[in-house]
C-alpha cells in the first residue's frame, strides 16, 4: 500500500491534476491486476494524511 501511495504522489508531482481513471489506469498498467484491491486503500491513506484532494465536479485528484 505504501509503494502504491508513493507512485500516486510521484505521478501527481508530474501532473498537478489527474482524472481518477487516468491515475487508476496508470497504476493498473504499472502494477497489474493486484492494484484493484490496494488502490482505494492507498487513496484513502493519502487523503487522511492530507496529501491529496479529490474534486468531485471534475473527477480529479490534486496533490496538496
DSSP letter string, 2-57: HHHHHHHHHHHHHSSEEEHHHHHHHHHHHH-TTHHHHHHHHHHHHHHTT-EEEETT
DSSP 22-36: HHHHHHHHHH-TTHH
State how many domains the chain has: 1
The CA-to-CA distance between both ends of the chain, in Å, stands at 20
Residue 37 corresponds to which cell in the numbers above?
A: 484491491
pLDDT (tens digit per residue) in 4-49 = 999 999 999 999 899 999 999 999 998 989 888 999 999 999 999 9
Note whether 63 and 18 are within 8 A (CB).
no
For the entire predicted model, the pTM comes to: 0.87
Can you give the CATH number for the domain in which 27 is found? 1.10.10.10
Domain of residue 53, residue span: 2-63
Predicted pLDDT at 28: 93
Amino acid at each position: 500500500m505504501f509503494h502504491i501511495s508513493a507512485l500516486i504522489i510521484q505521478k501527481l508531482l508530474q501532473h498537478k491534476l489527474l482524472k481518477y481513471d487516468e491515475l487508476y489506469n496508470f497504476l493498473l498498467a504499472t502494477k497489474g491486476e493486484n492494484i484493484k484491491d490496494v488502490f482505494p486503500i492507498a487513496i484513502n491513506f493519502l487523503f487522511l494524511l492530507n496529501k491529496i484532494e479529490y474534486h468531485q465536479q471534475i473527477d480529479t485528484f490534486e496533490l496538496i
